[in-house]
């Protein structure tokens, strides 16, 4: 009887504590977000796997039929993460009258500064505006098309390398590895005017190795900060040696920056064609753009211009490998557009099947599933009309961490009035053929590059690279899944397939 009484008392105590917690922590918001008690290491049992995290978050949204979810740390109610996946709310965040109140550089992203401390994480202030103005002209449509010789020369190397690899790999090979080397060679050449040539192997492969390790380890450290809070996350990442490893890889990558800064200081090759040299020669550098700030910006370009495009190419090749019918459609329009002539960006820019395949791949697998996360600096009530016209409310508190629900929004049926709700997780590129929004409720249903004044500068470059590489492959090969086919996601910092095992059959 005593044991039963103790159990009853414990159960009653737990119930009372839960009711108090629910009443004074969960229910105080009284808004249209589903509020979920967040238990570190339990709500997200595997915090270092990004795909598991976004699927957990998406699961809560689908379960409660909501487009916004708020996670409240059960041990620290001031630790709140809000996943915003409503397309109309995204409109407010991107281009609404209060878009500047959605700030950047939350404490939980401190570890991201080593690779994204430039434009991506800068606050919405005058420094960001000045930097955006300086670098924005580098990524206009006209500027990107001038990069054609660089894209094409690296593409020729890429095609030669994969031809040899394919010939020596009868059981197939991981084409993702070569996409990553290609995009790294391209963006390092564009950034510094320096040919790293990772595709050719050799000593310079240390840079892409350092980059991959930097993102992998930093992604783990960031995940710990998000799950455990910055203080506890920092303690844990330091305890297991992550910081020392991250610092070492960062130093290796900074060699490229320092080498080119020293080159310019010595007056060598000042008219080299690169983002760095073009910016330095502009004569418009603001006072804050010293060597340290320039290093942050250049590292950010490597991040934004390399991993996103490599991820897109990898997933797109993987999707096409299992859809030979779509390869036929794209190959036919490529052959018609080129008519036996040479490749050019203008000729392939408007190919409808290719662009539909790219857009659908970006919908299913946005490289940055949380976009560029926002920071809330003040208590603030946000209201908007959802897709049905119903008024919605979100109560924000100072310190809220607000990752954009890019992946989540792309997979929610409520954001896509003209899609089959049962096929939200399927690759259906035809939906984009006659609908620029891919069946979405508005233009913010599809936001793999963000939107508004802070939209990704590298969007045009990424899309041009992708069109160029995929059309060249399809001109020459059938893509087929290898025997060890997989499209699993592995990287903690970006959505990236673990490998894309394919066999290429020459035409």
- Left if phi > 0, otherwise alpha if psi is -120 to 50, otherwise beta: which for 189? alpha
Interhelix angle 291-321/126-136, nearest 10 degrees: 60
Q: Which residues of 376-406 are buried (b: 16+ CB within 10 A; e: fewer)?
A: beeeeebebebbeeeebebbbbeebbbbbbb
Vertex 382 angle, CA 56 and 413, to 5°? 40
Over 76-99, what HEC string results?
A: EEEEEEEEECCHHHHHHHHHCCCH
- Tell me the pairing of strands 374-376 and 76-84: unpaired
User: In terms of Cα–Cα distance, which of 446, 458, 353 is closest to 406?
Assistant: 446
CA-CA distance, 353 to 327, in Å (whole number)?
A: 9
Q: What is the length of the chain? A: 507
365 in Cβ contact with 311 (< 8 Å)? yes
* Neighbouring C-alpha atoms within 13 Å toward the C-beta of 161: 20
- Tell me the pairing of strands 477-481 and 401-402: unpaired
Helices (H), 290-351: 291-321, 324-338, 345-348
Any binding-site annotation on 198? no
Annotated binding site for heme: 456
Annotated binding site: 456
């Amino acid at each position: 009887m005593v044991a039963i009484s103790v159990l009853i008392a414990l159960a009653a105590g737990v119930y009372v504590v839960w009711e108090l917690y629910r009443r004074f922590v969960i229910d105080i918001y009284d808004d249209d977000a589903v509020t979920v008690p967040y238990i570190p290491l339990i709500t997200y049992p595997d915090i270092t796997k990004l795909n598991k995290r976004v699927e957990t978050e998406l699961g809560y949204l689908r379960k409660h039929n909501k487009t916004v979810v708020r996670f409240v740390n059960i041990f620290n109610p001031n630790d709140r993460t809000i996943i915003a996946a409503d397309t109309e709310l995204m409109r407010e965040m991107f281009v609404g009258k209060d878009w500047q109140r959605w700030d950047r550089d939350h404490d939980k992203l401190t570890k991201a500064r080593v690779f994204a401390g430039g434009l991506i994480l800068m606050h919405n202030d005058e420094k960001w505006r000045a930097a955006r103005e300086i670098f924005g002209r580098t990524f206009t449509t006209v500027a990107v098309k001038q990069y054609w010789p660089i894209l094409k020369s690296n593409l020729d190397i890429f095609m030669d390398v994969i031809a040899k690899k394919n010939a020596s790999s009868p059981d197939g090979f991981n084409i993702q590895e070569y996409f990553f080397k290609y995009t790294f060679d391209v963006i390092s050449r564009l950034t510094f005017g320096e040919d790293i040539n990772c595709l050719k192997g050799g000593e310079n492969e240390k840079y892409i190795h350092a980059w991959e390790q930097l993102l992998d380890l930093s992604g783990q450290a960031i995940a710990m900060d998000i799950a455990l809070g910055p203080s506890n996350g920092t303690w844990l990442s330091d305890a297991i040696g992550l910081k020392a490893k991250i610092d070492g890889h960062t130093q290796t990558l900074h060699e490229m920056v320092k080498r080119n800064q020293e080159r310019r200081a010595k007056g060598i090759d000042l008219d080299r064609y690169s983002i760095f040299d073009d910016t330095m020669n502009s004569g418009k550098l603001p006072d804050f753009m010293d060597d340290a700030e320039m290093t942050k910006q250049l590292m950010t370009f490597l991040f934004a211009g390399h991993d996103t495009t490599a991820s897109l190419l990898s997933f797109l090749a993987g999707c096409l490998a299992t859809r030979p019918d779509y390869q036929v459609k794209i190959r036919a329009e490529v052959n018609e557009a080129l008519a036996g002539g040479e490749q050019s960006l203008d000729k392939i820019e408007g190919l409808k099947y290719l662009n539909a395949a790219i857009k659908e791949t970006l919908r299913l697998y946005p490289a940055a599933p949380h976009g560029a996360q926002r920071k809330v600096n003040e208590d603030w009530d946000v209201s908007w009309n959802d897709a049905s016209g119903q008024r919605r409310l979100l109560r924000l508190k100072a310190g809220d961490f607000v990752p954009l629900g890019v992946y989540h929004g792309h997979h929610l049926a409520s954001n896509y009035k003209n899609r089959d709700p049962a096929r939200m997780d399927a690759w259906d590129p035809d939906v984009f053929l006659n609908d620029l929004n891919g069946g979405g409720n508005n233009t913010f249903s599809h936001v793999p590059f963000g939107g508004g004044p802070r939209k990704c500068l590298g969007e045009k470059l990424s899309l041009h690279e992708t069109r160029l590489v995929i059309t060249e492959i399809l001109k020459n090969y059938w893509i087929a899944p290898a025997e060890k086919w997989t499209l699993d996601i592995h990287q903690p910092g970006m959505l990236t397939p673990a490998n894309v095992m394919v066999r290429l059959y020459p035409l």
